[in-house]
């Protein structure tokens, strides 16, 4: 039973690093404009995966930042994890000054 799980996992990794590596990442369907958000209200924008940018009455919160081409454990030179299906709605340099980063789970 254990060897079957290992073979499945190795097969998944092989597909991920061969077939999926050639699949293009689709562009984000919308691009939020946080510079135009009012600090007098709560505003949210889904940036992709589990990443949400929140303006809570002027406090900028970023949840689970995942802005790289792959989602997972980032090591020097590469990331262990699946390739994104969709590009993040904002790139790192487009984010406003973040006051708080909220992590709900590890990757």
Q: Kindly report the pTM of this predicted structure.
A: 0.77
- How many domains are contained in the chain? 1
The reported pLDDT for the residue numbered 46 is 96
Among 70, 78, 60, residue whose Cα is nearest residue 107: 70
Residue 95 lies in a domain: yes
The reported pLDDT for the residue numbered 94 is 96
The one-digit pLDDT tens for each residue of the chain (107 residues) are 678 888 887 887 777 767 767 778 889 989 999 999 999 999 999 999 899 999 999 999 999 998 888 888 888 877 777 888 899 999 999 999 999 999 998 65
Residue 107 lies in a domain: no
The reported pLDDT for the residue numbered 1 is 64
Residue 40 lies in a domain: yes
Domain limits for position 36? 25-102
Residue 49: phi, psi to the nearest 5?
55, -115
Residue 73 lies in a domain: yes
Residue 4 lies in a domain: no
For 29-95, give the DSSP string.
S----GGG--TTSEEEEEEETTEEEEEETTEEEEES---SSB-SEEETTEEESPBPSB--SS-GGGS
Residue 8 lies in a domain: no
């Amino acid at each position: 039973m254990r060897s079957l799980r290992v073979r499945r996992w190795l097969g998944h990794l092989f597909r991920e690093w061969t077939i999926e590596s050639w699949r293009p990442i689709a562009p984000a369907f919308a691009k939020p404009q946080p510079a135009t958000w009012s600090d007098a209200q709560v505003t949210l924008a889904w940036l992709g995966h589990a990443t949400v940018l929140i303006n809570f009455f002027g406090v900028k919160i970023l949840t689970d930042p995942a802005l790289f081409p792959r989602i997972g454990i980032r090591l020097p030179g590469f990331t262990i994890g699946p390739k994104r299906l969709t590009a993040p709605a904002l790139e790192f340099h487009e984010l406003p000054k973040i006051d708080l980063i909220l992590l709900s789970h590890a990757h």
